[in-house]
Structure 1
Amino acid sequence: MNPMSICSSSSSSSSTKSWVVHGLVVGAAVAAAIGAHTYFYFRRSRRFRSRVIGIIPARFASSRFEGKPLVDILGKPMIQRTYERAKLASMLDQVVVATDDNKIAECCRGFGADVIMTAESCRNGAERCSEALQKLNKKYDIVVNIQGDEPLIEPEIIDGIVKALQSAPDAVFSTAVTPLKPGDAFDTNRVKCVVDNLGYAIYFSRGLIPYNKSGQVNPDFPYLLHLGIQSYDAEFLKIYPDLPPTPLQLEEDLEQLKVLENGYKLKVIKVEHEAHGVDVPEDVEKIERFMREKNLS
């Protein structure tokens, strides 16, 4: 099947596009209301953030799933499937893989990807992206962190979070959420998110948020699942590793909380996205079953 099939399939694609468009309209309205209010590095340059790179951070050592980027998914390494999806996004000027592992690097070069070697000491994907950014010869305004465990990420979502960050000059970070399935409500590998009325993140948690007095899932509440993709203002990403770890970030083990705890704004778009990422070995079978059902090659 053509790799664009998941994007051009009727209901899922149009739903994704309509949600993305909605998020961009809200973002543009917020940007207009904010006017000249910007962070210190934006005051140095009012230039539109146009140059965009996609970076796929990948490490072999993972506490939950060692060697995850190289796991086979219907005949291809997962990192290759993620890379091929990212290359379909129209807003990315370049896509590279950032890794600290030679096996991953060799695999990626084998299917034609550009690779940047990074230190083993990187504590999370954002820090790996930051190091890779500073090793590039070209300058970029926006960096999209595309998690290597999202083999079915839709190019429209990548484009959507880039446009959301471009339309929100007060934000240094943007990401996407999708409706949470009831069965994932108490799965700590599925990160939940709550968003304010202007489309900015309030909080992320591995627990169910919001949590009601009954302690039960409310079937009428639109809980949100955070997708493993985010974009950063490039100047902010350079200082991100130097920001000290924050209490909520450490407790939840979620890197985006360090952004919020330090007072920065994080823009969120809502999309319809059926397939989730691969967090543990059991998720591989779920992804393959989904791909067979949708006739995705």
Structure 2
Amino acid sequence: MKTVLFIPARYASTRYPGKPLAMLRQPDGSVKSLIQMSWEAACTIRGVDAVYVATDDDRIAEAAQAFGAEVVMTSDACENGTARCADALTRLEATPELVLNLQGDAPLTPPWFVEALIEAMQADPSVGMATPVLRCDRQTYENFVEDRQNGRVGGTTAVFDQHMNALYFSKEVLPYIDPGKLPDPIPVFHHVGVYGYRPEALAAYVASPVCQLEQLEGLEQLRFLHNGTPVRCVEVDARGRLFWELNNPQDVARIEAALGGVS
């Protein structure tokens, strides 16, 4: 296999326990779990040879197998999705050239977001890790600001240099913009919950200790930056679709509303 995609999923969550099994109403009135929606989204991505749900929880594993997903059971010591992908990788019979991490709380991720990431990494073999970023439209930016004003963690923002290499990721809205001077287009980029890694980059990640910034922000990609590993940001286009992760129970309504416009 050249490219595998893992959907890391854990049951325990401080902000939203049991999040992968949260049920969301579909446009036809039926309901599906968050993990099933994420798996179905992953299965539409071109260029992926295999899709696995990676979890340490029997409830998630049983639910995933019930809707037809292949499951890789991982250690319960994995501290985040990247570490879970690294653990899952060691349990495959063959090592792929590229490993993708589609976080299980982002069922609205369009397939072309991930396809752009695959293409970027295939075009530049020197890139050890990459992640998509999406310029915020006004609605998404206002959602970010509203969440922070109300003490909620919304999406993650990314700041990068002229070569598209990440400078920083944060759960704060970066860069700061004076509310009275909001430019158009808005220079705030939403970090999409997808990562691409070379296997050696994953191995180096789990071999290094947690850094303070990663611990404070709760963002695993900051360990790569702390260790001096470049993270390539790949700008993607939403093509008119709303992208939002399920970070808090309040996000269920946002995602269900967005589903009405997803084809």
If the length of structure 1 is used for normalisation, what is the TM-score?
Answer: 0.78
Tell me how far apart the structure 1 counterparts of residues 106 and 12 of structure 2 sit (CA, whole Å). 17
Whether 1:224 aligns to 2:189 is yes
Q: Aligned Cα RMSD in Å?
A: 1.7
Tell me how far apart the structure 2 counterparts of residues 168 and 202 of structure 1 sit (CA, whole Å). 19
Tell me how far apart the structure 2 counterparts of residues 98 and 203 of structure 1 sit (CA, whole Å). 27
Tell me how far apart the structure 1 counterparts of residues 95 and 144 of structure 2 sit (CA, whole Å). 40
Whether 1:183 aligns to 2:142 is yes
Tell me how far apart the structure 1 counterparts of residues 66 and 173 of structure 2 sit (CA, whole Å). 41
1:115 to 71, 76, 82: 71
- 1:295 offset after TM fit, Å? 5.7
- Aligned to 1:265, the other structure's residue is in SS state coil
8 Å contact from structure 2 (residues 55, 72) kept in 1:
yes
- Number of residues of Structure 1 aligned to a counterpart in Structure 2: 245
Map of 1:238 onto structure 2: 203
Tell me how far apart the structure 2 counterparts of residues 185 and 109 of structure 1 sit (CA, whole Å). 35
1:206 to 148, 154, 171: 171
1:89 to 27, 38, 45: 45
Uncovered stretches (5+) of structure 1, i.e. residues with no partner: 1-49
- 1:100 offset after TM fit, Å? 0.8
- 1:67 offset after TM fit, Å? 0.7
8 Å contact from structure 1 (residues 164, 267) kept in 2:
no
What do the CA deviations read for 1:36-57 (whole angstroms, capped 9, x no partner)?
A: xxxxxxxxxxxxxx81100000
Tell me how far apart the structure 1 counterparts of residues 129 and 160 of structure 2 sit (CA, whole Å). 14
- 1:171 offset after TM fit, Å? 2.0
Map of 1:170 onto structure 2: 126
- 1:216 offset after TM fit, Å? 6.5
- 1:239 offset after TM fit, Å? 2.5
What do the CA deviations read for 1:3-31 (whole angstroms, capped 9, x no partner)?
A: xxxxxxxxxxxxxxxxxxxxxxxxxxxxx
8 Å contact from structure 1 (residues 143, 234) kept in 2:
yes
Letter in 1 for 2:200: E
8 Å contact from structure 2 (residues 54, 88) kept in 1:
yes
8 Å contact from structure 1 (residues 171, 264) kept in 2:
no
8 Å contact from structure 2 (residues 86, 206) kept in 1:
yes
Map of 2:226 onto structure 1: 261
2:107 to 151, 175, 178: 151
- Structure with higher helix content: 1
* Cα distance, 1:247–1:198 mapped onto 2, change above 3 Å: same
- 1:270 offset after TM fit, Å? 1.3
- 1:275 offset after TM fit, Å? 2.1
If the length of structure 2 is used for normalisation, what is the TM-score?
Answer: 0.88
Map of 2:28 onto structure 1: none
Map of 2:81 onto structure 1: 125
Tell me how far apart the structure 1 counterparts of residues 64 and 180 of structure 2 sit (CA, whole Å). 44
Tell me how far apart the structure 2 counterparts of residues 219 and 78 of structure 1 sit (CA, whole Å). 35
What do the CA deviations read for 1:101-139 (whole angstroms, capped 9, x no partner)?
A: 101000110111110111111100000000000001122
8 Å contact from structure 2 (residues 41, 110) kept in 1:
yes
Tell me how far apart the structure 1 counterparts of residues 118 and 158 of structure 2 sit (CA, whole Å). 19
- Aligned to 1:140, the other structure's residue is in SS state coil
* Cα distance, 1:217–1:272 mapped onto 2, change above 3 Å: farther
* Cα distance, 1:253–1:217 mapped onto 2, change above 3 Å: farther
8 Å contact from structure 1 (residues 60, 68) kept in 2:
yes
- Aligned to 1:107, the other structure's residue is in SS state helix
Tell me how far apart the structure 1 counterparts of residues 183 and 51 of structure 2 sit (CA, whole Å). 39
Identity %: 35
* Cα distance, 1:242–1:217 mapped onto 2, change above 3 Å: farther
* Cα distance, 1:122–1:217 mapped onto 2, change above 3 Å: farther
Tell me how far apart the structure 2 counterparts of residues 160 and 216 of structure 1 sit (CA, whole Å). 34
Which is higher, the Rg of structure 1 or of structure 2? 1
8 Å contact from structure 2 (residues 175, 187) kept in 1:
no
Letter in 2 for 1:280: N
Letter in 1 for 2:141: P
